[in-house]
Structure 1
């Protein structure tokens, strides 16, 4: 059985998807700059594929455009089987996290995005909050998560979910952490998706 390579760097995918999202919403670069807090010059570089997007930048664009992260980072879905090799997906780099987007599924009014999340040893990744519910399963290492001043530590095999609109922080106090991150949104954009019970 063969597989199609996962084509397009994060930079190229963001450039194409950002242009498409702006066109759908009929908003100018100036308006996106105002809504996102990202300079117009930086947005122009991102749209031309010459900028270097960070996790923080993509989350800001997601909030400003009302677009799920996967809508900004994922290529159009191919038919049949999809195989994505880690080596073919450049990570989106943040202050403390490398995030590889792997897929998006829409079903029953929800959009679910799947990521490989690696928290660097001793690093701290802060998020002011964004739409959706975050679900994290730790594969290796010790992950500390703070949500609304509540702190939990997760080891291999542990799971956590929370409303991602709440500011949150991921840290790896003892060494690198590898985890699976799933973010789900309501497709209609109204309110957070419910975490499973």
Structure 2
């Protein structure tokens, strides 16, 4: 995994700490929920270390946050226009995510997923509450869902219940580009809405 910039790592750590405290969770309790040691979580929060992409998904699930929430730099209005140059971009290993909508009142993530070819899946399989749907734009993609595999080419789409562990694998030597939507966790004003985490 390419290392995050030190400033990004510190900002991510501060947000993780803020989210954990807002929900009244101790490091020990969050550790139990995520399956990562409390000492590692402490290092994430102080910016001395960075979580893997899979760990970020698990943290998102435990803290009711989308992956994009961890990297967005400012809150957005209830109507939000995101210019191409203003997209929130998250890159880990062979995966690049570009958020197409960043409103802080959204109940779903819409994003482009760019996957580079390589050996095996792009990350460990992770499940989370909610549902998601994707459409391949270019290249070929295998989506692994709960032990089953689905091969998609340009124009093919897949919907699934995201409680099932899932991950992605590029077919061939070319980049795969797809667009995805998934529900995300929201607990605003004490009301709970659909709960999921970014892909």
Quickly name the TM-score band, shorter chain normalised.
0.7 to 0.9
- Any gaps of 5 or more consecutive residues in structure 1? 1-7, 193-197
> 2:51 matched to which residue of 1?
53
Structure 1 match to 2:160: 162
Residue equivalent to 1:85: 85
Write the deviation string for residues 59-93 of structure 1: whole angstroms up to 9, x where unpaired. Answer: 111222233334333233245643353897341x1
- TM-score, scaled to structure 2: 0.74
Task: Report the counterpart of residue 5 of structure 1 in structure 2.
Answer: none
1:81–1:88 CA distance, 2 compared to 1 (3 A)? closer
- Give 1:178's aligned residue: 177
State TM-score, norm by structure 1. Answer: 0.74
- 2:114: which partner in 1? 118
Task: Report the Cα distance in structure 2 between the residues aligned to 1:64 and 1:87, rounded to whole angstroms.
Answer: 25
Q: Which runs of 5+ in 2 are unaligned?
A: 1-5, 187-191
1:134–1:10 Cα change, 3 Å: farther
Q: Aligned Cα RMSD in Å?
A: 3.1
Q: Count matched residues.
A: 181
Q: 1:161 to 1:105 in 2, by over 3 A?
A: farther
SS of residue matched to 2:55: helix
CA contact (8 A) 2:27 2:42 kept: yes
